[in-house]
Each structure stands twice: as C-alpha cells, then as structure tokens.
Amino acid sequence: MHSRRIGDVEVSAIGLGAMPMSIEGRPDEERSLATIHAALDAGVTLIDTADAYHRDADEVGHNETLIAKALASHDRGGDVLVATKGGHLRPGDGSWTLDGSPRHLKAACEESLRRLGVEAIGLYQFHRPDPRVPYAESVGAIRDLLDEGKIRMAGISNANPEQIRQANEILGGRLVSVQNQFSPAFRSSEPELRLCDELGVAFLPWSPLGGISKAGELGSGHAPFARIAEARGVSPQRVCLAWMLAKSPVVVPIPGASRPETIRDSLAATDLALTAEELAELDAA
C-alpha cells in the first residue's frame, strides 16, 4: 500500500469512508465488520467517520462504535488513524442539522472519545460551518481541544478557501486536513484542493466516486472514465481514484464502502499509473 501524510502521521494513500455502513440502506453488522477488516488486511491505515453517521435519533455515533468494535477485533487495529468529526446532527427523520457552538463541539468530542475508547482522537474535524455561529468560535473550540490534548490533530470539512486560511491562522498553523466533496461530478472544490497543495495540508475528498456509476452511459460527461477503464481492464472507480491521486501528493481519497470487494477494488487504484494524456482527458471530462 502506498502512503501519504496527514500532519506528522503516515497513512495509506486511500482511506476507508465508513459512512455507508451506518446510514440509510446500511448492511448488517457482520458485513460491515468484514468490510473494515478487509480494508485493514489490504493495508488501510485511515478510516473516516463522524458522530452524525447514524440513521435513527437514538443511535448517535453508530459509525464510531462500529469502527471501535472492528479495530478492537483485528490485530492491525492499533495502526489506524481514525478521523472523526463533530458539528453535524441527525434528528432521525433523514435530515441533517448543524450545531457549531463551542459548547456542542466540546461535548461531542467527549462522546466521540468515549465511543472510540481512546484517550485522544487521532484527527478531529469541524464537520460543517454553522451560519448561526461565527466560524472563528467553532474553530476556536477545535483549537482548545487540540491544546488540551483531547485530539492529536485538527482539521475542517466543507470549507472554502477563506475558511481554510482563517482556520489555519486560528489553529496557529496546525491545520492538517480539509475534507471537502470532490468527484468527477462535483469539481467546485478545485480551488480548495490547490490551496491545500500550496499549504501542505491534506485534502480528503469525500464522496470521491460521485457520478462514476453512470460513467459508461451514452452522453455522460464522465464517459472518458469508462473508456479508459475498459482499455485498462479495470473499473471506472479505480480510474477515478487514480486520477485524484495524480492531482497532488496531498490528496487522500476516502471512498465509501459497505462490501469487502468494493474497498479492495478502490485500494488497487494506488497501483494504477495513468498517462499524461489520460489525465488530461479526464480533467477535461
């Protein structure tokens, strides 16, 4: 498994996005544990989660609890950087709400610590800006958690360039990650990716395979992914992740998975070297 860096920690070049194992349409626990174990067996050392990755109102932190169970039952569980987030909520009706108040973030971090069973969270990220709370106050709470040793590294999610610079300043230059949506179907985070490259901050694309399921459809803007995949004898998903990895050494995709075979295929992207011509075609798709 190839590696990249988040802060001072070396991680697998592709992580596991665990959200699909806890929200609507999730698999049974046995398959979820098998998926996480398959990722660990293949060399994954980064797992992405959040306290809001759950389905019902009475199971906040379902995903964190699942991950803790999977890591405790695998001999490589101790090698994994778990990245979790706070500031999003799910009331149980399928909607997503926000609470970026310092009080909530600090309480949420304590609950995540308890569920994960650790003394300090490896990477804690502010999940999404709350328009009712000044951004500086929310990030200030993350800074306090970092200073108190409750978290080892700090990041932000769903942020624009101005917020990235502001967060890095508030954190005293200690911002290590930005987790934004980025995929063939959603490329508006290119400026944030470029800024992260400039700052040396890890960029973690969430939902990186968005749009790829329709890559082979006639008239799809993502058809080049399917054409290159067919020529290479691999899946369009693998081509997509290889394309992302080639964009910058700070990119660490976190594709979601709920089946062992899915994460295994995604991880094979680290060994797929695309040509300059192929990358240019995909950039233009």
The helix/strand/coil state of 156 is strand
Place of tokens 């802060």: 7
The helix/strand/coil state of 4 is strand
Place of tokens 């949420």: 108
**Does 135 participate in catalysis according to the annotation?**
no
- What dihedral angle (degrees, nearest 10) is formed by the CA atoms of 20, 262, 31, 66? -50
Within 8 A by CB and 6+ apart from 118, the residues are 82
Beta strand pairing call for 88-89 and 97-98:
antiparallel
Could you list the beta-strand ranges (E) of the chain: 3-6, 9-12, 16-17, 46-48, 81-86, 88-89, 97-98, 123-126, 154-157, 175-179, 202-203
Whether 203 and 193 have beta carbons less than 8 Å apart is answered as yes
Within 8 A by CB and 6+ apart from 28, the residues are none
- What dihedral angle (degrees, nearest 10) is formed by the CA atoms of 245, 62, 114, 18? -10
Q: Catalytic residue, from 16, 53, 61, 237: name it.
A: 53
Nearest-angstrom CA–CA distance, 225 and 239: 6
CA atoms within 13 A on the CB side of 61: 15
- The residues carrying an active-site annotation are 53
